[in-house]
């Protein structure tokens, strides 16, 4: 059987795989990417976080993305009936980027992958990983290419960025159920012919239909808009069985968007994803790391998926380089604990969203600008900034503050 040798094998050419491979290639590493599908390909996850801009910048991918003129996302709007709450990233606590993009992933990921290829990385599309075996930290990966040919790739290190494919979690029995509530989603794209001018037309919005059910509107710069509904699986299953009719029904339940989208034609038959949250027992091992969705996924409500994908990819690449340079790496501390710290912050925000506590804080009037700035930093992806009490004390602050407000108190009485 044919056999290739590389330093690092990256599985998957999504944002995670592209950031890891670009960074490694920039540092002279022999890296190869194998990608099951043919690009451009559809994947969900179209709203990004400012924090991820740092990852594209460090990987040398930012300019290629800028050239595509994707829709700028400078904040996010949440609507509940007649109440509105807008987070403007330029008003966030602490340092960091104050904008990012909202973009169709087929174009976005294709742009990343083409730039990675331009940098000289060998990206093999329509090539699927079938099996991986490890001897110490060395590995042999069996793949099948588009001609049906099976061959092996030897690597000193594997970065598993296979997203929902979750290649190593499946092969090494690392899967673990998530502790986030079982939610499901239905989504599609529409041609947004009724788009109004100005910010209203292009603002990314999350419309709360019920405490645990929300509808997303993500307008793209190509004139199309992504629409989706998310809620407890039991709620989603009570909608009509046909995903098109189910999404139509969700639109009907949105007072804000009913007129704009009820009769709009769907560009493709809506997709339904059931119980999407997942986790792993460990996100690294001898000779490999899991990045992005391969390591787990919480919930789409705060658009954190791609940001974690690129954060973990960049860190994997940096730690591989550190180890290759002869410096010791404590993978548990420097990789696993670090990623978990960020995941835990978002996990609290996701859970407190669905309890309604976070919504109490979002919509409380009068707004407390200091509290808002600090929550805004979390929503921008700055979940490792321990100077932010809404990061450092995430497990207590939202619950306690919501309790105070629900019992007639004021945020000003609250000492963080
Ligand atoms: P992916 O982008 O999924 O890429 C993985 C790649 O690996 C794929 O191209 C796949 O073809 C390839 N692959 C799989 N198996 C194999 C194999 N055996 N061999 C070779 N290649 C393989 N995130 C956000 O940031 N913002 C959002 O607004 C958002 N909305 C979401 C809405 C819903 C309903 C859901 C379920 C998720 C959402 N997400 C969102 C999460 C987002 O989809 C993921 O976090 C993100 O795509 C992860 O990127 P990745 O690079 O890890 O994997």
Q: By alpha-carbon position, which residue is closest to atom 33 of ligand 1?
A: 300
The answer to whether residue 152 scores a pLDDT higher than 90 is: yes
First-to-last alpha carbon distance for the chain, in angstroms, is: 62
pLDDT of residue 254: 98
Longest dimension (CA), the chain: 72
Q: Ligand 1 mean position to 292 CA, how many Å?
A: 7
Q: DSSP character for 297?
A: B
Same domain, 39 and 124: yes
pLDDT of residue 194: 84
Same domain, 151 and 105: yes
Same domain, 43 and 122: yes
Ligand 1 contacts CB of residue 32 (under 6 A): no
The answer as to whether 83 is a domain residue is no
Using the atom order of ligand 1, give the atom closest to the CA of residue 18: 51
Same domain, 288 and 362: no
User: Could you write out the DSSP letters of every residue in 332-359?
Assistant: IIIIIIHHHHHHHHHHHHHHHHHHSHHH
Q: Ligand 1 mean position to 57 CA, how many Å?
A: 20
pLDDT of residue 224: 98
Using the atom order of ligand 1, give the atom closest to the CA of residue 167: 18
Q: By alpha-carbon position, which residue is closest to atom 46 of ligand 1?
A: 306
The answer as to whether 81 is a domain residue is no
Q: By alpha-carbon position, which residue is closest to atom 41 of ligand 1?
A: 305
The answer as to whether 364 is a domain residue is yes
Ligand 1 contacts CB of residue 164 (under 6 A): yes
- Give the CATH number for residue 221: 3.30.9.100
Q: Ligand 1 mean position to 252 CA, how many Å?
A: 29
Q: By alpha-carbon position, which residue is closest to atom 2 of ligand 1?
A: 14
pLDDT of residue 1: 83
For residue range 227-265, list pLDDT tens digits in order: 999 999 999 999 999 999 999 999 999 999 999 999 999
Ligand 1 contacts CB of residue 11 (under 6 A): yes
Instruction: Return d(Cα 293, Cα 276) in angstroms, integer.
Output: 10
The answer as to whether 297 is a domain residue is yes
The answer to whether residue 129 scores a pLDDT higher than 70 is: yes
The answer to whether residue 369 scores a pLDDT higher than 90 is: yes
Ligand 1 contacts CB of residue 231 (under 6 A): no
pLDDT of residue 179: 86
Residues 378-406: what's their mean pLDDT? 96
For residue range 169-216, list pLDDT tens digits in order: 999 999 999 888 899 999 999 999 889 999 999 999 999 999 999 999
Using the atom order of ligand 1, give the atom closest to the CA of residue 102: 28
Instruction: Return d(Cα 60, Cα 71) in angstroms, integer.
Output: 20
The answer as to whether 247 is a domain residue is yes
Residues 6+ positions from 71 with CB-CB distance below 8 Å: 101, 102, 103, 202, 219, 220, 221
For residue range 342-355, list pLDDT tens digits in order: 999 999 999 999 99
Domain residue limits at 324: 3-73+99-177+277-341
> What percent helix, strand, coil does the chain show, rounded to 5?
40, 25, 35
Same domain, 291 and 326: yes
Ligand 1 contacts CB of residue 160 (under 6 A): no
Q: By alpha-carbon position, which residue is closest to atom 15 of ligand 1?
A: 165
Using the atom order of ligand 1, give the atom closest to the CA of residue 218: 28
- Band (pLDDT 50/70/90 cuts) for residue 410 is confident
pLDDT of residue 120: 97
Same domain, 310 and 371: no
Using the atom order of ligand 1, give the atom closest to the CA of residue 128: 19
Using the atom order of ligand 1, give the atom closest to the CA of residue 307: 25
Ligand 1 contacts CB of residue 243 (under 6 A): no
213-219, strands of its sheet edge to edge = 83-88, 75-80, 205-210, 213-219, 224-232, 183-191, 271-273
Same domain, 260 and 292: no
Residues 398-412: what's their mean pLDDT? 89
Same domain, 216 and 291: no
Q: How many independent structural domains does the chain possess?
A: 3
Residue to mutate, 12, 187, 317, ligand 1, most ligand atoms under 8 Å from C-beta: 12
Ligand 1 contacts CB of residue 273 (under 6 A): yes
The answer to whether residue 21 scores a pLDDT higher than 70 is: yes
The answer as to whether 86 is a domain residue is no
Q: By alpha-carbon position, which residue is closest to atom 31 of ligand 1?
A: 45
pLDDT of residue 225: 98
Same domain, 128 and 226: no
Residues 293-320: what's their mean pLDDT? 97
The average confidence (pLDDT) of the chain is 96
Using the atom order of ligand 1, give the atom closest to the CA of residue 34: 20
Ligand 1 contacts CB of residue 52 (under 6 A): no
The answer as to whether 90 is a domain residue is no
Same domain, 285 and 405: no
Same domain, 60 and 32: yes
Q: What ranges in 4-162 are assigned the alpha helix state H?
A: 15-26, 51-58, 62-66, 105-118
Ligand 1 contacts CB of residue 300 (under 6 A): yes
pLDDT of residue 216: 98
Query: Which of these three, 255, 274, 293, is where a domain ends?
Result: 274
Ligand 1 contacts CB of residue 19 (under 6 A): no
Same domain, 208 and 329: no
Query: Which of these three, 252, 274, 296, is where a domain ends?
Result: 274
Count of helix runs (H) and strand runs (E) in the chain: 15, 19
The answer as to whether 91 is a domain residue is no
Using the atom order of ligand 1, give the atom closest to the CA of residue 130: 18
- Band (pLDDT 50/70/90 cuts) for residue 83 is very high
Our CA angle for 200, 205, 209, nearest 5°, is 120
The answer to whether residue 415 scores a pLDDT higher than 70 is: no
Residue to mutate, 44, 185, 276, 342, ligand 1, most ligand atoms under 8 Å from C-beta: 44
Instruction: Return d(Cα 163, Cα 175) in angstroms, integer.
Output: 13
pLDDT of residue 180: 84
For 105-109, 276-280, 321-325, which range has the lowest pLDDT when averaged over its residues? 276-280
Query: Which of these three, 259, 274, 289, is where a domain ends?
Result: 274
């Amino acid at each position: 059987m044919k056999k290739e040798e590389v330093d690092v094998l990256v599985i998957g050419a999504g944002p995670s795989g592209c950031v890891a491979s670009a960074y490694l290639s920039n540092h002279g590493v022999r890296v190869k990417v194998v990608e099951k599908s043919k690009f451009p390909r559809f994947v969900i996850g179209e709203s990004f976080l400012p924090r991820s801009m740092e990852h594209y910048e460090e990987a040398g991918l930012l300019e290629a993305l800028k050239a595509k003129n994707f829709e700028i996302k400078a904040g996010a709007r949440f609507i509940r009936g007649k109440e509105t709450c807008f987070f403007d990233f330029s008003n966030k606590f602490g340092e960091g980027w104050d904008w990012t993009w909202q973009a169709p992933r087929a174009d976005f990921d294709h742009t990343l992958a083409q730039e990675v290829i331009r940098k000289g990385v060998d990206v093999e599309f329509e090539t699927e990983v079938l099996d991986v075996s490890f001897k110490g930290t060395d590995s042999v990966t069996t793949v099948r290419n588009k001609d049906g040919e099976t061959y092996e790739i030897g690597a000193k290190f594997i970065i598993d960025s296979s997203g929902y494919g979750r290649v190593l979690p499946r092969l090494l029995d690392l899967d673990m159920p998530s502790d986030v509530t079982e939610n499901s989603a239905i989504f599609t794209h529409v041609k947004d012919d009724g788009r109004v001018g100005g910010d209203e037309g292009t603002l990314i919005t999350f419309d709360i239909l019920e405490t645990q059910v929300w509808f997303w509107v993500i307008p793209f710069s190509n004139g199309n808009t992504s629409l989706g509904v998310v809620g407890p699986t039991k709620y989603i299953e009570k909608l009509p069985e046909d995903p098109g009719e189910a999404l139509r029904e969700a639109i009907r339940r949105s007072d804000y968007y009913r007129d704009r989208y009820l009769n709009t034609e769907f560009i493709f038959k809506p997709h339904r994803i059931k119980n999407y949250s997942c986790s792993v027992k460990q996100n690294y091992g001898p000779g490999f790391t899991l990045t992005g969705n391969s390591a787990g996924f919480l919930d789409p409500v705060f658009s954190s998926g791609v940001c974690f994908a690129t954060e973990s990819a960049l860190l994997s690449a940096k730690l591989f380089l550190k180890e290759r340079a002869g410096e010791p790496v404590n993978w548990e501390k420097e990789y696993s604990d670090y990623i978990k710290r960020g995941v835990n912050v978002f996990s609290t925000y996701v859970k407190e969203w669905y309890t309604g506590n976070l919504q109490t804080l979002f919509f409380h009037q009068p707004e407390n600008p200091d509290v808002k700035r600090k929550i805004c930093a979390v929503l921008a992806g700055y979940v490792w900034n321990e100077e932010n009490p809404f990061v450092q004390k995430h497990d207590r602050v939202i619950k306690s503050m919501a309790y105070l407000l629900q019992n007639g108190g004021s945020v000003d009485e609250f000492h963080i």
